[in-house]
Amino acid sequence: MKKRSCLKGSFELHFLKSIFLFPYFESVKAIEKFVFRNWAGCAQSCAQKYFQPQTEHEIALILKEAAESGKKIRVVGAGHSWSPLVCTDDYLLNLDFFNNIISIDKPKKQIRVQAGIRLRQLNKVLEDVGLSLVNLGSVSEQSLAGLTATGTHGTGIRFQILSSAIIGMKVLKADGEILKLEEDDPLLDAYRVSLGLLGIITEITLQCTDAFNLKEESEPMQFDKALGKLPELLQENEHLKLWWFPHVSHLMVYRYNRTKESAQSKSVFIKWLEEVLLARYFFALVLRIGNAMPSRIPAINRFIKNLHLKKISRVGKSYEIFNVPMPPKHRESEYAVPVEHAAAALRELREEIERNRMKVNFVVEVRFVKGDKIWLSPAYGRNSCYIGGYLYGDKRWTAYFGLFEKLMKKYDGRPHWGKEFTPGLNEFGKMYEKLGEFLKLKENVDVNDIFENKLTEEIMR
């Protein structure tokens, strides 16, 4: 994520104002004309004001100022979403200072934290007290509030999306009133994935589990054989992930299961080699070559398959096994289809890529989650397979994205809120039976629609 002020000296000016004027005028320092650009560089806006409050009182003051000025407010974390979900020309609010641990209940395996904490920090804190989150996604750069509000999911057909671990929240509504939600509150399932539309989340309580090690066993498997064995693979493994590079006959099957075996530690050099030299630089170089010479992409994908897709077995701490090195910047769309449609959707995706002679240079990632009751979860009411269509560079993205999205919708797919998608007219009401109730709740906590932006308005039509 790139943060910078359009107006030189604006930050220093507001900092001085905050020192000398804050005791007399109830205001919060801000950077004016702040340019936000997300991690992938595909979403950008210039906010009139950018705030980094340090207390709930300051958030309440910002809410008051926005209401009096007729401005909207969106909250941004790490900027790791591909969708323009946080983009706004009005007020942008960041909770990086809300990153403290409030309490840990070791017997109950629960932790209460401020909502702006980054996942990588939370993982370390949990490790120190012998706890862990039950499931995780692929990276840990996001803020906790951001990843839960957008429905980040991880993988494992026996496990629900990460937001399901939330058992309590503290939220500031549009009028500045504080709302506290406990585990038995019937509205908690509305707030667990809220897209930032129900208020500003300041605290989250999570249900954790004892720390555990995972054994990863991965191997390449012929495409159709792997899809034919999908029911068996899902039943036999706690967590399952598939990677497929288009134009390649095999895909990579990743099995993850809990183990009593000791974690295997890597040297600092090996970590640097894998996470920096190979993942960040070498892979990016290979992708740039393919982007410059699209006709070579199928051969390059086969080269990557031969280099990377090998039979491997390793044991590590759960969060280290779930996480992968940060990849080069790329575009992403991801849809959750009913798990029973997974194999058919993947086969047709392969056929359409070849039929349209598309050159796709990035992996198709396939993950699985258990159905839930979270109102705006893409896995609401059904076990789901998340299929991610990714691409490096912008040259062929529009065509690939259009094909991918049309195909996923054909198989009753629901988009991942943090990835790229195109809202169709009134389509979300058909996807989510709880959308009407969500909108009524939103009207009660945000009478003036202060938390909306262009994308959320399209979603809520």
Which residue, among 416, 447, 431, 441, has the nearest Cα to 81 in the 3D structure?
416
What's the token pair of residue 1? 């994520």
Are the beta carbons of 143 and 95 closer than 8 angstroms?
A: yes
**47, HSE (Cβ side, Cα atoms, 13 Å):** 29
Which residue, among 421, 418, 388, 442, has the nearest Cα to 85 in the 3D structure?
418
Distance CA 270, CA 189 (A): 42
What's the token pair of residue 450? 């202060």
Distance CA 321, CA 450 (A): 40
Give how far Cα 375 sits from Cα of 128, 192, 285, 401, 453, Å: 34, 8, 42, 26, 20
pLDDT (tens digit, 9 = 90+) per residue, 273-319? Answer: 766 677 777 888 888 999 899 999 999 999 888 877 788 899 999 99
Task: State the Cα angle at 156 between 106 and 259, rounded to 5°.
Answer: 60
pLDDT recorded at residue 13: 35
Which residue, among 160, 31, 36, has the nearest Cα to 86 in the 3D structure?
36
Residue 131: pLDDT over 70 = yes
Residue 17: pLDDT over 60 = no
Give how far Cα 253 sits from Cα of 114, 212, 239, Å: 36, 22, 11
pLDDT recorded at residue 447: 87
Neighbours of 91 (CB within 10 A): 23
Distance CA 62, CA 50 (A): 10
Residue 365: pLDDT over 70 = yes
Q: Which of 170-174, 230-234, 389-393, 425-429 is least confident?
A: 425-429
- Regarding predicted confidence, which is higher, 25 or 92? 92
pLDDT recorded at residue 359: 96
Distance CA 83, CA 1 (A): 13
pLDDT recorded at residue 16: 39
- Regarding predicted confidence, which is higher, 9 or 202? 202
Domain extent listing, the chain? 2-94, 101-210, 213-415
Provide mean pLDDT across the span 369-393. Answer: 98
Strands 331-338 and 364-369: unpaired
Neighbours of 76 (CB within 10 A): 26
At 88 the three-state DSSP class reads coil
Residue 353: pLDDT over 90 = yes
Distance CA 364, CA 245 (A): 6
Provide mean pLDDT across the span 123-140. Answer: 96
Stated pTM of the model: 0.91
Distance CA 14, CA 28 (A): 9
Residue 412: pLDDT over 60 = yes
Are the beta carbons of 350 and 406 closer than 8 angstroms?
A: no
Q: Which of 17-21, 58-62, 118-122, 209-213 is least confident?
A: 17-21
Distance CA 446, CA 308 (A): 49
* DSSP output for 280-333: IIIHHHHHHHHHH-GGGHHHHHHHHHHHH---EEEEEEHHHHH--PPPPP-EEE
pLDDT (tens digit, 9 = 90+) per residue, 90-117? Answer: 999 999 999 999 999 999 999 999 999 9
pLDDT (tens digit, 9 = 90+) per residue, 237-276? Answer: 999 999 999 999 999 999 999 999 999 877 777 776 766 6
Task: State the Cα angle at 60 between 192 and 104, rounded to 5°.
Answer: 50
Distance CA 457, CA 80 (A): 21
Residue 5: pLDDT over 50 = no
Mean of per-residue pLDDT scores for the chain: 91
At 205 the three-state DSSP class reads strand
Neighbours of 34 (CB within 10 A): 23
Q: Which of 28-32, 199-203, 301-305, 345-349 is least confident?
A: 301-305
Residue located via tokens 């996923």: 408
Residue 34: pLDDT band (50, 70, 90) is very high
pLDDT recorded at residue 23: 39
Domain 213-415 class, CATH top level: alpha beta
pLDDT over 70, % of the chain: 93
Provide mean pLDDT across the span 393-421. Answer: 96
Residue 461: pLDDT band (50, 70, 90) is confident
Distance CA 311, CA 216 (A): 10
CB burial of 104-138 (b: ≥16 within 10 Å; e: otherwise) equals: beeeebbbbbbbbbbbebbbeebeeeebbbbbbbb
E-strand ranges in 156-302 read 166-172, 178-181, 200-207, 209-210, 213-222, 239-244, 250-259
Please enumerate in sequence order all residues whose Cβ is within 8 A of that of 269, keeping only pairs 6 or more positions apart, or say none: none
Distance CA 407, CA 341 (A): 12
**Which CATH code for domain 2-94?**
3.30.43.10
Domain 101-210 class, CATH top level: alpha beta
Supply φ then ψ for residue 301, to 5 degrees: -60, -40
pLDDT recorded at residue 304: 85
Q: Which of 141-155, 307-321, 383-397 is least confident?
A: 307-321
pLDDT recorded at residue 275: 67
Q: Which of 35-44, 209-218, 282-291, 441-450 is least confident?
A: 282-291
